[in-house]
Structure 1
Amino acid sequence: MIADTGASQTAPRAHRARNGAIVAVIVVLLLGTDQATKAFFNQFPVGSVVAGPFGDILCLRTVHNTGAAWGMMDGATVLLGVLSVAVVAVLLVFLFVLAPDASPLSAVAVGLVAAGGIGNAIDRFALGYVVDFIQPLFIDFPVFNVADIGVTCGFVLLVLSLLLQRPASDSENPEPAN
């Protein structure tokens, strides 16, 4: 007997369409916000405190970052840009090819990482640095931007979504004895 593959492919196709819409909306909104805020802060001289401090919580200060967080890989902006694009490509392949039935949470996660990765890659390739402007004051932490928030939150959500989707192993759900 030959199985009807049309019905079995309808669900993954619908999931891909739903996830594609989720990713597209998140990328447009977050990438737009990221690029607009960076353009605003990039008008000010490097090191300028544009606003704040707001209590002992944070201030908004313009920084040009040619490396990664905490000064790692300083000057490797092109390499980090290429790495960002590669990570985004791998995550999109994961979501749309390897896991076509992925949850909406996975799509949100990939959308956040993609928007953040693309936002920082645009800066790296167009400007030669990433514009950072959110400086925490209550902790020793690097200055960051909207794209960094997207990447960080997206990776946390991706790990969470993968843990929630993890199939139960046979030892966790033993079949009843006959």
Structure 2
Amino acid sequence: MKIIAYSLFIISLDQLSKFLVLNILGFERSKNIIPNLLNFTLIKNKGAAFSLFSNSTNLLTITSVLASLFLITIILNYQTKSYWNSIGLAYLLGGTVGNGIDRLFKGYVLDFLELVPINFPIFNLADISINIAIICFIVDITKDKSRIKY
């Protein structure tokens, strides 16, 4: 249940950040947050990562819902094998549900974090959570392999 609780915290943080940026900044405007590093620029992303599958909102919504249900099933029915695996599942579920809520209720995902010095797609906290999950899974796999003696 700790994994679900942590996921709910991530989802809340993601949704709150999107709500605040939408209400304070709105669309079509950009606000510099950290000079030469970070802007808040709110956009509607109708695709997936890097705006892939831009015209597939229904498919992405269904995929997001199914992935979220699959993750919840794994979390509730199987004991996680390690700390890193547990943290990875919490972040993955939080990020998947965070963006899934946007797709389900808005038809697009709100992205607002823009890295100024590089030409990188605008993203949000749910996207960061999914990337943290991947890092956690890599650490988990690497850590287990380092214990193996040949």
Q: Which residue of 1 aligns with 2:121?
A: 142
Whether 1:39 and 2:6 are equivalent positions in the alignment is: no
Q: CA deviation at 1:28?
A: 1.9
* Partner Cα separation in structure 2 for residue 95 and residue 124 of structure 1: 23
Q: CA deviation at 1:163?
A: 2.9
Q: Which residue of 2 aligns with 1:11?
A: none
Contact persistence 2:21–2:112 (CA under 8 A):
yes
Cα distance change of structure 1 residues 145 and 157 upon mapping to structure 2, 3 Å threshold: same
Q: Which residue of 2 aligns with 1:57?
A: 37
Q: Which residue of 1 aligns with 2:47?
A: 67
Whether 1:119 and 2:98 are equivalent positions in the alignment is: yes
Q: CA deviation at 1:79?
A: 1.4
Q: Which residue of 2 aligns with 1:110?
A: 89
Residue-by-residue CA offset, 1:90-115 (whole Å, 9 max, x unaligned): 344445545x2511221111000101
Contact persistence 2:38–2:115 (CA under 8 A):
yes
Q: Which residue of 2 aligns with 1:165?
A: 144
Give the partner amino acid of 2:48: A
Contact persistence 1:116–1:149 (CA under 8 A):
yes
The percent identity for this pair of structures is: 23
Q: CA deviation at 1:47?
A: 2.3
In structure 2, the gaps of 5 or more residues are none
Larger Rg belongs to: 1
RMSD over equivalenced CA pairs, Å:
2.2
SS in 2 for 1:47: coil
TM-score (norm 2): 0.86
Residue-by-residue CA offset, 1:144-178 (whole Å, 9 max, x unaligned): 11111111111221122133234966xx44xxxxx
Stretch deviating more after TM superposition (64-73 or 111-120): 64-73
* Partner Cα separation in structure 1 for residue 47 and residue 103 of structure 2: 9
Give the partner amino acid of 2:95: G
SS in 1 for 2:117: coil
Give aligned pairs, total.
Answer: 149
Q: CA deviation at 1:83?
A: 1.7
Residue-by-residue CA offset, 1:50-92 (whole Å, 9 max, x unaligned): x215221110011111002333111222211222233333344
SS in 2 for 1:109: helix
